[in-house]
């Protein structure tokens, strides 16, 4: 099992906790957590692509 599979629950947990620290209503927490999750996932995907591309060149 790849260690990358552990990133998904960590991203979900961080997003929910971060959303709960910003809002008190459940719908707002979920909406903010979704936006945070997509931002973090996209950021990690871009970093992965950059590292993969650099490793491919070298």
Residue 4 has what pLDDT? 79
Q: What is the pLDDT of residues 18-27, one digit of tens each?
A: 999 999 999 9
* Number of domains forming the structure of the chain: 1
Which residues form the domain of 48? Answer: 3-57
Task: Mention every residue, 6+ apart, whose C-beta is less than 8 A from residue 23.
Answer: 29, 32
Higher pLDDT, 57 or 3: 57
Cα separations in angstroms, 31 against 11, 16, 19, 27, 34: 15, 10, 8, 6, 5
Q: What is the pLDDT of residues 15-54, one digit of tens each?
A: 999 999 999 999 999 999 999 999 999 999 999 999 999 9
Using alpha carbons, select from 48, 49, 16 the residue that is nearest to residue 33: 16
Please say if the pLDDT value at position 1 is more than 80.
no
């Amino acid at each position: 099992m790849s260690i990358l599979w552990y990133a998904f629950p960590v991203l979900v947990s961080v997003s929910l906790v971060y959303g709960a620290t910003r809002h008190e209503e459940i719908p707002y927490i979920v909406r903010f957590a979704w936006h945070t999750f997509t931002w973090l996932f996209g950021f990690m995907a871009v970093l992965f692509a950059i590292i993969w591309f650099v490793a491919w060149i070298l």
